[in-house]
């Protein structure tokens, strides 16, 4: 079978390896599609080498079908369409006992801490499987995992119908957050400097503006009747994005930190004091979030066809990563892991 391997130093290769049967408690999945996300790009850039190890098979946004069952596995059958919940908490610590396994200190993340889905056949713990509807296009099913991120972020925010939410950063996760936020009945504004990404936001029916050229304080003020937003989602990962997200908030507003910031950022703490703002971290998701995400994708509430801008065969993994890095009109890139080389 074919497998994409990260070799370090920004190098990717596709190799042939023998098929290995699933072990006890495992299920072998025929991977249909794997999406490339920002974390995968961080790995390619070498910033996570110590954690992932080299060489490594990465990838966790996926869909596929059950191929074989390991010993002791019940409830699944060959051909069942599935995705994988890659979050494996220890289940024994106080954090897990409190129901917060997504931030378990001993968390294992499949595709980072263990082999991921950029391969044709993938052995995973049966406990990680999530069933997909049989009628769902598997390419769309690969968006269940990033949609789960958005579901978790919106849930963390406490966003309610009628409230105003500003999404700072209109990439795939930002637009998924915007879609989920709108499903709650909120009013949503997207701030994104890329004209191509703003165009996608426009197509999806969102008001979108360039924070580099617009007076965002005035824009948000006009949009909210001078009050400011109840919630802002910082999805840009940029210092300027943090400032914009804080400035957008009304008194008692909530800032949700979604992006991974590689360096410490300055935050206007005086504004937090003056307006009694709240900052919320939002990391990963729960099984409940994933189940909700699958329902949203399957019901057609997630605009998968508009977000998936390229599908390339696994053999062209290097070109797929290059396309995503270019940012030129690209939103979500999928690898077709079933395609012949």
Instruction: Kindly state the tokens that stand for 169.
Output: 């950063």
> Is 60 designated active site?
no
How far is 181 from 262, CA to CA, in rounded Å? 26
User: Within 10 Å of residue 255's Cβ, how many Cβ atoms?
Assistant: 24
The whole-angstrom distance between residue 281's C-alpha and the CA centroid of its chain comes to 15
Instruction: Kindly state the tokens that stand for 180.
Output: 């989920």
Catalytic residue among 34, 39, 243, 292: 39
Q: Which residue from 122, 120, 93 is spatially nearest to 106, judged by alpha carbons?
A: 93
How far is 170 from 144, CA to CA, in rounded Å? 18
**Do 130 and 153 contact (CB within 8 A), yes or no?**
no
> Is 278 designated active site?
no
| DSSP 3-state of 321 | helix
Q: DSSP letter string over 210-238?
A: -TTTS-HHHHHHHHTTTS-EEEEEE-S-S
How far is 236 from 257, CA to CA, in rounded Å? 10
| CA max distance for the chain | 63
83, 87, 91, 93: CA torsion to nearest 10: -170
**Do 30 and 65 contact (CB within 8 A), yes or no?**
yes
- Which positions are catalytic? 39, 42
């Amino acid at each position: 079978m074919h497998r994409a391997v990260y070799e370090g130093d920004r190098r990717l290769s596709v190799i042939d390896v023998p098929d290995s049967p699933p072990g006890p408690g495992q299920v072998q999945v025929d991977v249909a599609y794997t999406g490339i996300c920002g974390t995968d790009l961080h790995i390619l850039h070498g910033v996570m080498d110590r954690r992932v190890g080299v060489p490594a098979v990465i990838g966790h946004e996926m869909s596929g079908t059950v191929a074989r069952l390991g010993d002791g596995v019940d409830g699944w059958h060959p051909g069942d369409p599935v995705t994988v919940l890659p979050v494996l908490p220890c289940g024994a610590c106080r954090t897990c006992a409190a129901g917060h396994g997504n931030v378990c200190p001993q968390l294992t993340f499949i595709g980072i801490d263990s082999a991921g889905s950029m391969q044709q056949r993938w052995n995973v713990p049966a406990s990680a499987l999530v069933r997909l509807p049989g009628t769902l296009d598997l390419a769309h099913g690969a968006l269940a995992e990033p949609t789960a991120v958005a579901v978790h972020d919106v849930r963390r925010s406490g966003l309610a119908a009628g409230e105003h939410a500003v999404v700072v950063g209109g990439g795939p996760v930002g637009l998924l957050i915007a879609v989920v936020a709108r499903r709650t009945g909120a009013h949503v504004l997207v701030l994104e400097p890329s004209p191509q990404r703003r165009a996608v936001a426009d197509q999806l029916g969102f008001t979108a503006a360039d924070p580099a050229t617009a007076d965002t304080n005035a824009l948000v003020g006009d949009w909210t009747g001078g009050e400011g937003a109840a919630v802002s989602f910082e999805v840009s990962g940029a210092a300027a994005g943090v400032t914009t997200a804080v400035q957008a908030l009304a008194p008692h507003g909530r800032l949700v930190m979604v992006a991974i910031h590689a360096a410490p950022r300055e935050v206007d703490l005086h504004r937090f004091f003056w307006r009694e703002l709240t900052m919320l971290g939002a990391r990963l998701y729960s099984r409940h979030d994933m189940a909700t995400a699958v329902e949203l994708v399957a019901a057609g509430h997630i605009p998968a066809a508009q977000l998936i801008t390229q599908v390339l065969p696994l053999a062209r993994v290097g070109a797929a990563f290059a396309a995503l890095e270019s940012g030129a009109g690209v939103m979500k890139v999928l690898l077709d892991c079933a395609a012949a080389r």
